[in-house]
Structure 1
Amino acid sequence: MAFKGIVGQERILSYLSEALLKNETPHAYLFEGADGLGKKAVAQQLAMGLICTSKIKPCLKCNSCLKVVSGNHSEVKLIESEGSIKIETIRYLQKEIQLKPYEGKKKVFIINQAEKMTQQAQNALLKTLEEPPSYATIILIVNISSSLLPTIVSRCQVIKFRPIEIQKIQDYLIHNKGLSYEESKVIALFSKGIIGNALKILEDESFQEKRQLLVDITKELLRGKTLLALENGSLLTSQKNNIQEFLDLLASWYRDIMIYKETKEYHFIMNYDKIEEINHQASQVNLNKLKDIIYIIEDTKTKLKSNVNFQLNMEVMLLKMQEVISW
């Protein structure tokens, strides 16, 4: 059966399947890539493959595989933490790794978000990576490999997870989630090639409400009334907890207008289901103004990270955007 339920990453899955079949797996892997690309899921299935008792690994059916699925296999340890991963945790790993497996022939340790390891923890892990027991495999999961000591990276087989084709995400949403062609395309485009993003958007009941809010705001900005801009600044209070995401959506709207204005091709834009409004706004604002508006949004995102007054920042952003449009 081999790897199952992973969207995209065929190159990686093929490589790992062949390594398992030939029993040529290294003592340490480093899975690198953005959140939502399936790194943790692949690591867990690789762990299954390493301890699987069937010929085709992982079979996902034998007792060993099922124990990993339920999190009850004594030889597979998942290490993750909401805060930093301290040296005490790595010392626990070092003690466990020295104990020979009694349930099967392999031991597997997965360290999720390994960049959370403190400097002391990384130095301690380095000693284990230098002389690991032959029966042990360590899998580190990170967003960016440079967040770890170069000496750790050099002792691992680095596997880079990359964004996948939008079409594959759309096909998955249609066939596995029952979405229509139009619904699946919009979500796939906003996922940026990351299946985890697509699933989050699908589960976010307010996603379409956010999009409608930004459309309403951009319409009113074109009307050029200062009072409306201030009212919309207050309205954005509802988005305070996820304002960075909302501003990303807002910036994508104006980027779409730029793209459509230059190409007249709706196939290239993310908000393609709103093409009529994009076409209308594209006829009202020139390219230089659109570039200025996007800069204002990005500048606002930066200022919000500095804990500036939220309400004031929103009002200033909208007033600046309106000023640019009204020139």
Structure 2
Amino acid sequence: MSFSMIIGHENIKFQIVSSIKQQRFSHAHIIVGEDGIGKSFIARETAIEILGKCENRQYADIVEFKLAKGKKSIGIDEVKSIIEETTKKPYEGNKKVIIVYNADKITETAQNAFLKTIEEPPKGVFIILLCEKLELILDTIKSRCQTYKLNRLSEEEMMNFISSKFPGLSEIELKSVVAFSDGIPGRAEKFIDDSSLREIRDTIINVLRTVSTSNLEEILSNENFFVKYKNEWQEVLTCMLSYIRDVLIYKETSNRDLIINIDKVNDIKDIAEMFSFNKLNGIINIIKETRIKMEKNVNSTLVFDSMLLKMQEV
């Protein structure tokens, strides 16, 4: 892949390439954007440009640091390793690029330890920080970096991206992917490739159907699904809210063109007939309450059981 192959973010790509060619590219940068927006692609292509290379392959002088599996933050020891890497001479030329993923997960203490290196890295060393939440990066670090904000792609850009990456999709499939992705390429890829997401989407429809009944045993039979996907609870709740949003809009307008989950339009129609506006709005509030509890690390089984019961009662 090259910058020309990355769809969208035209101004940012032009700015980066121009400053590198004119040899005025600064030594520290932050690329901020939502998960799946393309931060890592932009970072790697930037690194390849800095090194003066053109092939998209592994380079010894592009060093990537990622959040360790199972860890929630990047601490002082990990930052010391990054700092140590900056002191090592490049292998193939006179430049080296350090890409730090999840930079907003670096603890405040570790960020302070990193500050001097970001301010004055060794000659020929470039540092690129990737993050989703810029507000978690210390102001002292932000002030020493050039920041690039990646925005969601337009519908036309998403159409081009999906059509080129997944040729052969039917019109309904293409519309479904574009709507679900909401301008984020990574979500489009997940929609098509991730079997877990397909199960989540299919099962949530059944969950909403059972909530419309008064059979408590049937409602609680969904517990195993929520236990299975407790680590993907954000995707589960986002999917549920997306369906409820579609049901509300269809119930009010009867316009299928406004539905995000267009591949589930028949299910959306059925559920719209099952629920009143009051119940749908009540379910939205319950889902939002559930999200807050999950963010506080409350026992997931208890949280989801409570959610299902409240949905049935509302």
Q: TM-score, normalised by structure 2?
A: 0.85
Corresponding residue of 2:220? 230
Corresponding residue of 2:265? 275
Distance in 1 between the 2:252 and 2:17 partners?
45
The one-letter amino acid of 1:230's match is L
Tell me which of 54, 60, 80 is aligned to 1:59.
54
Contact 1:252 / 1:270 at 8 angstroms: preserved in 2? Answer: yes
Corresponding residue of 1:119? 108
Over 3 Å counting, the alpha-carbon distance change for 1:120 and 1:284 in structure 2 is closer
Over 3 Å counting, the alpha-carbon distance change for 1:318 and 1:186 in structure 2 is same
**What value does the CA root-mean-square deviation take over the aligned residues?**
2.7
Corresponding residue of 1:264? 254
User: What does 1:1-327 correspond to in 2, within 5 Å?
Assistant: 3-52=3-52, 59-60=54-55, 69-70=57-58, 72-73=59-60, 75-82=61-68, 83=71, 84-94=73-83, 96-98=85-87, 101=90, 103-178=92-167, 179-233=169-223, 236-308=226-298, 310-324=300-314
What's the CA shift for 1:93? 4.6
Larger radius of gyration: 1
Deviation string, structure 1 residues 255-280 (Cα, Å, up to 9, x no partner): 11112223332222211222233233
Contact 2:27 / 2:121 at 8 angstroms: preserved in 1? Answer: yes
Distance in 2 between the 1:112 and 1:238 partners?
28
What's the CA shift for 1:234? 5.0
The one-letter amino acid of 1:280's match is D
Contact 1:2 / 1:17 at 8 angstroms: preserved in 2? Answer: no
What's the CA shift for 1:251? 1.8
Contact 1:29 / 1:156 at 8 angstroms: preserved in 2? Answer: yes
Where does the alignment leave 5 or more consecutive residues of structure 1 unmatched?
A: 53-57, 61-65
Over 3 Å counting, the alpha-carbon distance change for 1:88 and 1:246 in structure 2 is closer
What's the CA shift for 1:89? 4.6
* Runs (4+) off by over 6 Å: none
Contact 1:167 / 1:188 at 8 angstroms: preserved in 2? Answer: no
Where does the alignment leave 5 or more consecutive residues of structure 2 unmatched?
A: none
Pick which of 16-25 and 83-92 moved more: 83-92
What's the CA shift for 1:217? 2.6
The one-letter amino acid of 1:192's match is D
What's the CA shift for 1:136? 2.7
Q: TM-score, normalised by structure 1?
A: 0.82
Distance in 1 between the 2:7 and 2:270 partners?
37
Distance in 1 between the 2:136 and 2:31 partners?
13
Contact 1:7 / 1:195 at 8 angstroms: preserved in 2? Answer: no
The one-letter amino acid of 1:49's match is E
Distance in 2 between the 1:81 and 1:258 partners?
39
